[in-house]
Amino acid sequence: MSGNKFFLANRTDGLGSRLVGILNAFYLAKKSNNDSAVRFSWITPKDFSLKYNKCFGNGSDNGAYQNDFRGTDVKIIGMSIEEKEKVFNSEFISKYYISSEELNCKEKNGGKYSTQHPCSIEKFMENFMFSDKDYYEVGLTLLHSKHIFSNVIFEEYREVCTKIWENIDFSPLLRKIMKMAVLKASEIGDFVCIHVRSGDAIYDYANIRKFHKTSFTHATNAALALELIEREVRQGNKVVVIGDDVETNRHLIKLVDSNNVYCSDDLRDTDSLNNLELFMYDLTFMRCSKKLYGTYSALVKIVLLTADVDYLSTYCILKDSEYYEILKKNYKRLSHISSCQKAFILFHLFWCGREMNEGCEILCSYLDKALELDFDNDKYRIYKVFCLLENKKIELAEMYLREILLHREEQFVSLLMYKNFAGSFQEVFNGYYKYASENFPYISYIAFKLKVYENDYLSAVKFLKYATTDKKRLTEDYKLILQVYDQLNDKIKLKEDEKKEVIKNKDDLIASQSQQIQSLNVEKKIFQAQINNLQSELKSLPIKKIELEISILEQDLFNKKLKNKQLTKAMDMEFDLITPEIILINSNSARFRVRNHLSYKLGQALIVNSKSILGYIRMPFVLSFIRDQHKTEQCRIKKALKENPKLSIPTLESCLDYKEALRETQCFTYKLGEIFIKASKNWYKGGYLKFYFKDLKELKKEFEK
């Protein structure tokens, strides 16, 4: 791969995601046979906080994504978002870091490998090599995923990434932290690690918890974590619980009440270490485990790629029926954990209960309890309406929506239409469309909003009419709705005009193409008539006569070749005796030697045989004979020189007629032979056609000048 191309790790979220990107970039570079074709960019802590507080913060100024966030009512270890200088040593940064200024320069042209169709990694490298891209952005997805590369084997992928990890130049402080973790892990011996990810996926300091099912299986709920700990303890295994929710982890260990269960916060001093140090300590500790339970969080992904650990995906272990019973049982035991943790368990109870065909009343009760614990989370309201509509409780859904729209319309509607990288609430939309009618104006109003969101204005107008049938029930919104109605009508008219214009343009295009087709059909008929005439001529008497002459010439050529071989064999002895004299005589004439070149011979034959039809017919055989004869002569000369080392051929420059010989190489005959030889070498690429229709014409023009 070109030395100017590289793979760019440019994640802008937490340290775990950034490191996975760097591992993937180094892996791809290694596969491209250019280990140094890696660059990484780095968002500063300040820019990170501004970006993520704006996108995912809850609107308050509590610093949800500040570096050392530990929470107020609960103790949560925040994200690791330190400067690159605290993560890597100066040599590593100097070699691989690329600034945003350098990256944004006009010469740099990037792409994303995730936009490629799934293919082999070799095909991807080939495409990259011949593309106009300077670099490809490398993401968080593991590269053995079949929708990325079709032939990356996980075991080989992990083996390579393990070596890459060991060669990353982390800062001296982090190296020290990693050694501390390895030493502490060795004191425990063999152990099972259960990673309980919580943080912004569960807690109300961030809005991510509200975004449909984005964090549903990204965090591990406490009820499931408790079950996994107890199962491993019953099997006699030592268990280490690692996670960012310190208080919940301690509560889980207290409930299990076993000397074989450890909390990561008891294995290091949480309060004296910053987020970066805690992150690297926990990561190293997890790499030392023999078995790991976890979701596909970035931290777990790093462990999977850099350590030979038996991994079990937390949510893929239990059957739905078994999982549902565990959730119900353990929820009752976890009364002392935080409100957000309990609300998260209740949301899992809702979804699992729905899969188990639990009754609508019970499912709604889970969501009602979740709202009591996390009142600001309109996700639970959205799914309650969804549940009521799904179970055909239309009147109840209408009444519930009325209460929501009276008190929380802006929050509810904006969240309902929110979309991010993980998807949207699209699954709930059809319920509103299905039951929208004049009898249910609030359902119709939401259906109207959703159709506007989807740019389906015709359907939006229909639902808007349903929503305005009862003016008394929608007095506050009525004027606004009428304004929107007028605006929609204008948009619809504009869309119709645009549609008519598009149709007209397409009709014009079709008419133009129809004319082209008719014209091509006429040309086709003309060509067919010409072909028929040629076929008739080929069957005529003169052509048959020529074919007979060709047959006679072929037989004559065969006889001459046979006779030539016989004469050659008989004269071998005599030729060996006189060859030295021939070489000595002719080698002193540069002009004679040039005229003995194959180019000159072939050019001469082409000119002589192009003066008659019979000559053209005879030409292929003559040219073939000349080529064979020339080859035989060259072999004999080489043989004579080899057998008689005293013989030598002077250079052309030393001959008296050298200048005359140079003029011979520039003559039409010599040049004609040269381009014919070139055409012969490329016959399979249409060399002869190019010779007759292009090269020959250009040569004639050149000599006419």
At residue 136, what are phi and psi to the nearest 5 degrees?
Answer: -120, 135
| Same domain? 148 vs 233 | no
Give the chain's mean pLDDT.
84
Q: Which residues of 633-665 are buried (b: 16+ CB within 10 A; e: fewer)?
A: eeebbeebbeeeeebeeeebeebebeeebeebe
On the question of pLDDT at 672 being above 70, the answer is yes
pLDDT-based confidence at residue 609 (cuts at 50, 70, 90)? confident
Q: Which domain holds residue 137?
A: 6-43+81-169
Which residues have CB under 8 Å from 678's CB, separation 6+?
687, 691, 695
CB–CB of 381/212 below 8 Å? Answer: no
Which residues have CB under 8 Å from 121's CB, separation 6+?
28, 31, 143, 149, 151, 152
CB–CB of 186/395 below 8 Å? Answer: no
Domains contained in the chain, number: 3
Inside any domain, residue 156:
yes
CB–CB of 298/14 below 8 Å? Answer: yes
- Structure tokens given for 107: 């010469």
Inside any domain, residue 475:
no
- Structure tokens given for 144: 């053995």
pLDDT at residue 422 in the model: 52
Which residues have CB under 8 Å from 693's CB, separation 6+?
none
On the question of pLDDT at 580 being above 70, the answer is no
Sign for the CA dihedral angle at 126, 127, 131, 136 comes to negative
Q: Of 70, 51, 64, 58, which is closest to residue 13 (Cα–Cα)?
A: 51
On the question of pLDDT at 237 being above 90, the answer is yes
- Structure tokens given for 385: 């309406």
| Same domain? 345 vs 227 | yes
From 169, 188, 203, the end of a domain falls on 169
How far apart are the C-alpha atoms of 495 and 514, rounded to whole Å?
28
Which residue in this structure is represented by tokens 């690159």?
84
The helix/strand/coil state of 195 is strand
For 151, other C-beta atoms within 10 Å of its C-beta total 12
| Same domain? 156 vs 211 | no
At residue 313, what are phi and psi to the nearest 5 degrees?
Answer: -70, 125
- Among 137-141, 410-414, 449-453, which range has the highest average pLDDT? 410-414
Inside any domain, residue 294:
yes
Cα Rg of the chain, angstroms: 41
How far apart are the C-alpha atoms of 598 and 575, rounded to whole Å?
21
Average pLDDT over residues 377-390: 97
| Same domain? 150 vs 37 | yes
Q: Identify the CATH number of the domain in which residue 347 sits.
A: 3.40.50
pLDDT digits (tens, 9 = 90+) for 522-567: 888 887 887 777 777 666 656 666 666 777 777 777 777 777 666 6
Which residue in this structure is represented by tokens 């393990």?
162
Inside any domain, residue 101:
yes
How far apart are the C-alpha atoms of 242 and 294, rounded to whole Å?
10
How far apart are the C-alpha atoms of 26 and 564, rounded to whole Å?
68
pLDDT at residue 321 in the model: 94
Neighbouring-strand partners of residue 137: 8, 112
| Same domain? 137 vs 176 | no
CA distances from 660 to 60, 594, 653, 657, 702 (A): 95, 10, 11, 5, 21
Q: Of 437, 443, 335, 454, which is closest to residue 389 (Cα–Cα)?
A: 443
How far apart are the C-alpha atoms of 209 and 524, rounded to whole Å?
67
CB–CB of 9/22 below 8 Å? Answer: yes
DSSP at 76: B
pLDDT at residue 29 in the model: 94
The helix/strand/coil state of 380 is helix
Which residue in this structure is represented by tokens 């072939």?
602
| Same domain? 243 vs 112 | no
Angle, helix 339-355 to helix 360-373, in steps of 10 degrees: 160
Q: What is the pTM of this model?
A: 0.67
| Same domain? 157 vs 215 | no
How far apart are the C-alpha atoms of 373 and 346, rounded to whole Å?
10
| Same domain? 222 vs 343 | yes
How far apart are the C-alpha atoms of 631 and 564, rounded to whole Å?
14
At residue 244, what are phi and psi to the nearest 5 degrees?
Answer: -90, -15
pLDDT at residue 606 in the model: 86
Inside any domain, residue 187:
yes
Terminal-residue alpha carbon distance, the chain? 47
Q: Of 304, 302, 326, 325, which is closest to residue 313 (Cα–Cα)?
A: 304
CB–CB of 672/603 below 8 Å? Answer: yes
Share of the chain above pLDDT 70, in %: 85
CA dihedral 604, 610, 611, 616 (to 10 degrees): 130
From 340, 359, 378, the end of a domain falls on 359
- Considering only residues 565 and 635, tell me which one the structure prediction assigns the higher pLDDT: 635
| Same domain? 31 vs 174 | no
pLDDT at residue 177 in the model: 96
| Same domain? 204 vs 307 | yes
| Same domain? 163 vs 181 | no
Inside any domain, residue 390:
no
pLDDT digits (tens, 9 = 90+) for 674-697: 988 888 888 777 777 888 788 888
Give residue 177's identity as a one-letter amino acid code.
I
The residue count of the chain comes to 705
At residue 268, what are phi and psi to the nearest 5 degrees?
Answer: -155, 165
In 425-565, DSSP assigns E strands to none
| Same domain? 162 vs 216 | no
Neighbouring-strand partners of residue 110: 135
The helix/strand/coil state of 274 is coil
From 124, 139, 169, the end of a domain falls on 169
For 32, other C-beta atoms within 10 Å of its C-beta total 19
How far apart are the C-alpha atoms of 649 and 227, rounded to whole Å?
95
Inside any domain, residue 213:
yes
Q: Which residues of 33-57 are buried (b: 16+ CB within 10 A; e: fewer)?
A: ebeebbbbbbbebeebbeebbeebb
Give residue 577's identity as a one-letter amino acid code.
L
pLDDT digits (tens, 9 = 90+) for 256-274: 999 999 999 889 888 889 9
Average pLDDT over residues 89-95: 96
Inside any domain, residue 572:
no
